[in-house]
Structure 1
Amino acid sequence: MKFRFDESDEQFRQMIRQRIAQILPADISDRHRRVLSNSSYLEDQRRWFAILDAEGWSVPAWPVEFGGTDWTALQRFIFEDEMYAADAPEFHWIGSHMVGPVLYTFGSEAQRERFLPPIRNGQEVWAQGFSEPSAGSDLASLRTNARRDGDDYVVNGSKIWTSGAFEADWLFCLVKTDTQGKPQRGVSCLMIDLKSPGITVRQIRQINNEGHLCEVFLDDVRVPVENLVGEEGKGWTYAKFLLDHERTTSSFIFWIKRELTRARELGQAVFRNGRPLIEDPEWSRRLAVVGAEIEAHEWSVLRVLSEEPSNFPITAAASVLKVKGSELQQTITGLQVDALGTQSLRDYGDVRLDASTDPIWPDLYQGRTSRAMITRASTIYGGAQQIQKNLLAKLALGL
């Protein structure tokens, strides 16, 4: 059986593909194709978001009244699929997929007017302040506290694994405003200006030699009460809302599909014993297997988007997609490194400066090893694999 999109969806795909080709600057797509990790360069992201905002496409999942589109869930899926296939920079995920939906659903009118426009046009970048040294997957045990003092909250504590905090403008932060009663009831959500006095951001050197992940220390940081999102003590509710709102994002399906394309290209470009690697039966078999798994994963995402009736809660479906998506990230990047063999050991340096066209080290090779190394963390971040499986045991199997 071969699944297909209907004709109207294919026409929409062609429209999106052609328009992206017209508006995506070549230097941005070239840089992003050769970027060493999962991250885009900030200035490229800002430029690209401004272009998308002018097109009306920067936050397609938002309601139309807040700058979104009236596309269906399937059309939004197609749009993101084409964005990744064109090597466009990834979305400012924290702002577009987390802060924005929480603000237009629970925030005040003043907060919407202040924060939604610069998220749409990419001029303000957000970091997520959830995890702490003693509260990773178990956010109910977080210790960062916010004490009310007149028109401010005074915040003390620390956050860790805070992606992009070193270059972000704002922190979307869970804090404890009440230590009495059940832990979840005392959690609130604050928007914290990362330029505030008392904030120290320390980058964490990663296995691929980047410092995208950070520690954030907050020492008597004063945050205006007007930066409280929604109601005090409802932060846990807003965090759960995000999981239900973006239930397929953790599948990483678009990223994985793009890396599958890279693997196929490597199979044609890399030669072993005078023949393209794609002609090697064992390597070709491995490529076919992972290709089939990725296609099955894609259709699992589409089933969730179609809101197909299920006996399982949507949070269980999100956990399934997270578990499989994490594993596939590691599998496909591992296959790429295996294709390169000893050539995967080269240090490519900063791809913004290294634009070598040497046939021995083509652009296609750049970033493969770095991505494979950083995806070793994919089964940890965003909810560790063991935690996800515990959720599945409880929510889907009743254990």
Structure 2
Amino acid sequence: MDNVAAAADAFAESLSRRLETEETEEAFQGMPSDGDSRVGYEAMGAGGWIGVHWPERLGGRDLTPLHTAAAEERFGYHWLPLSGYLLSVKTIGNALLRLASPALQERLIPPIATGQLIFCQGFSEPGAGSDLASLTTRAERQGNTFVVSGHKIWTSSAQLADWIYLAVRTDPDAKRPQDGISVLVADMRTPGIDVQPFATLGGGQLCEVFLDDVEIPVDQLVGELHGGWRVLMATLDYERVTSEKVGILLRVLDELEPLVENPADRLTLLRLRGEAEASRLHGRRATQLLEAGAPASAAASMAKLSCAVLAQRLADEGIRMLGPAGLTERGHGDRVHGRLAALARAAVGATISGGSAEIQRRVIARRGLECPA
């Protein structure tokens, strides 16, 4: 695993330098998880860094998920623009390999592995964020197609995406709202899909996606009809193993360390580094459980929550140590290449996006500690 991590480190450092000198779309948006670059994504595919543990027959390298986690940590450390990768590969690609039909895998996984296909994820809606079971986007079966209408929000990378991974309601009369959900995939060029980007603080973009009578073939169903809740929960398990964010936090710690002389502050940085190591272990444990096909929701939530809480603590402590200079973006007066300022912006939402801290604690309590509902 060390050899793969070292090779990933060299690749990521080289690509990071290249992207800083080339004009790329939204490559630098502060945090790596917010940055988008089709140039960077295609370079990762061409270099063999997409689907490190995927089967060779589908374009992967047949290594282990722990090799992938080690590589992703180095991608985050070198601040690569990773939004498209995290959606297409880490989250949706892994879910497709686990839950999609063989035909759908053979159609979609190879172009993801070569860096030619980017996914976005259509989950959240105006009335369904953390409470995903409240989604209202409808998919009505008409012969060999589903006709889909609805509205998705907070859709990262939709302005670049080739395909979308959609949570839809296929049975509005189900007794439990979770029982009437399915997951579909669709080409973003399908008539009726309209993407509306909007700017975010720090120079990034998010999107709304409007679906108006979008016709999606039945064979683009992921998992079972009305069985989408299981698909969604499995997908979120992959999303919440945040190896790249461990790399991000270690990079900020490395850049802060030579700037801090106060012994008490240096001790604080050591403690934060220890927490980053603990977060790394949470992620590796969840990765191993997912590889084994064992229940991983509690472990994935621990990985996600530990990283989110640590990001907030590190941002607060870093700004306290550096003062206003810690909030300086790239340019005059910048001491940490704008990375601490980016972390401070992103950390505010770290315990909300991807499932709030309250949701993560509930998952840990119920599925990990077997506490009563």
TM normalised by structure 2 equals: 0.84
Question: How far off is 1:111 after superposition?
Answer: 2.3
* 1:325-379 deviation digits (Å, cap 9, x = unpaired): 111122223333334422345454xxxxxxx6x6x446x3324313311221110
- 1:373 and 1:22 map into 2 onto residues whose CA distance is 24
Question: How far off is 1:251 after superposition?
Answer: 4.4
Change over 3 Å in CA distance of 1:227–1:33 after alignment to 2 = closer
In the alignment, is the contact (CA less than 8 A) between 1:61 and 1:68 conserved in 2? yes
- 2:14 and 2:213 map into 1 onto residues whose CA distance is 45
Question: How far off is 1:281 after superposition?
Answer: 2.5
Change over 3 Å in CA distance of 1:267–1:78 after alignment to 2 = closer
Q: What is aligned with 1:379?
A: 351
Q: What is aligned with 1:216?
A: 209
In the alignment, is the contact (CA less than 8 A) between 1:29 and 1:86 conserved in 2? no
Q: 2:58 aligns with which of 63, 66, 90?
A: 66
In the alignment, is the contact (CA less than 8 A) between 1:208 and 1:374 conserved in 2? no
Change over 3 Å in CA distance of 1:46–1:229 after alignment to 2 = same
Question: How far off is 1:206 after superposition?
Answer: 2.9
- 2:268 and 2:95 map into 1 onto residues whose CA distance is 42
* Matching residue's letter, 1:40: G
* Matching residue's letter, 1:228: L
- 2:21 and 2:250 map into 1 onto residues whose CA distance is 18
- 2:347 and 2:30 map into 1 onto residues whose CA distance is 12
More displaced stretch, 75-84 vs 281-290: 75-84
TM alignment of 1:151-230, pairs within 5 A: 151-181=144-174, 182-211=176-205, 213-230=206-223
In the alignment, is the contact (CA less than 8 A) between 2:12 and 2:74 conserved in 1? no
In the alignment, is the contact (CA less than 8 A) between 2:182 and 2:227 conserved in 1? yes
Change over 3 Å in CA distance of 1:251–1:151 after alignment to 2 = closer
Question: How far off is 1:13 after superposition?
Answer: 4.1
Question: How far off is 1:305 after superposition?
Answer: 4.3
* 1:71-95 deviation digits (Å, cap 9, x = unpaired): 2343333333333344444361222
Question: How far off is 1:386 after superposition?
Answer: 0.8
Question: How far off is 1:128 after superposition?
Answer: 0.6
Q: What is aligned with 1:150?
A: 143
- 1:290 and 1:27 map into 2 onto residues whose CA distance is 31
Q: What is aligned with 1:324?
A: 306
TM alignment of 1:87-102, pairs within 5 A: 87-90=79-82, 92-102=85-95
Question: How far off is 1:139 after superposition?
Answer: 1.8
Radius of gyration: which is bigger? 1
SS in structure 1 at match of 2:204: coil
Q: What is aligned with 1:265?
A: 255
Segments of structure 1 that go 5 or more residues without pairing to the other structure are 1-8, 269-276, 349-355
In the alignment, is the contact (CA less than 8 A) between 1:177 and 1:187 conserved in 2? yes
TM alignment of 1:209-358, pairs within 5 A: 209-211=203-205, 213-244=206-237, 246=238, 250-268=240-258, 277-306=259-288, 314-346=296-328, 348=330
- 2:27 and 2:256 map into 1 onto residues whose CA distance is 14
Change over 3 Å in CA distance of 1:71–1:29 after alignment to 2 = farther
Q: What is aligned with 1:134?
A: 127
Q: 1:47 aligns with which of 38, 42, 46?
A: 42
Question: How far off is 1:323 after superposition?
Answer: 1.4
SS in structure 2 at match of 1:134: coil
- 2:13 and 2:356 map into 1 onto residues whose CA distance is 40
SS in structure 2 at match of 1:262: helix
- 1:14 and 1:382 map into 2 onto residues whose CA distance is 29
Question: How far off is 1:284 after superposition?
Answer: 1.6
Q: What is aligned with 2:338?
A: 366
In the alignment, is the contact (CA less than 8 A) between 1:201 and 1:216 conserved in 2? yes
User: Would you say 1:79 and 2:74 are equivalent positions?
Assistant: no
- 1:96 and 1:24 map into 2 onto residues whose CA distance is 18
SS in structure 2 at match of 1:279: coil
* 1:150-206 deviation digits (Å, cap 9, x = unpaired): 333221111111112122121100111111223222211111222333323223443
- 2:27 and 2:249 map into 1 onto residues whose CA distance is 11
Change over 3 Å in CA distance of 1:372–1:119 after alignment to 2 = same
- 2:281 and 2:102 map into 1 onto residues whose CA distance is 38
Percent of pairs with identical residues:
32
Question: How far off is 1:397 after superposition?
Answer: 4.1
In the alignment, is the contact (CA less than 8 A) between 1:162 and 1:214 conserved in 2? yes
Question: How far off is 1:10 after superposition?
Answer: 3.7
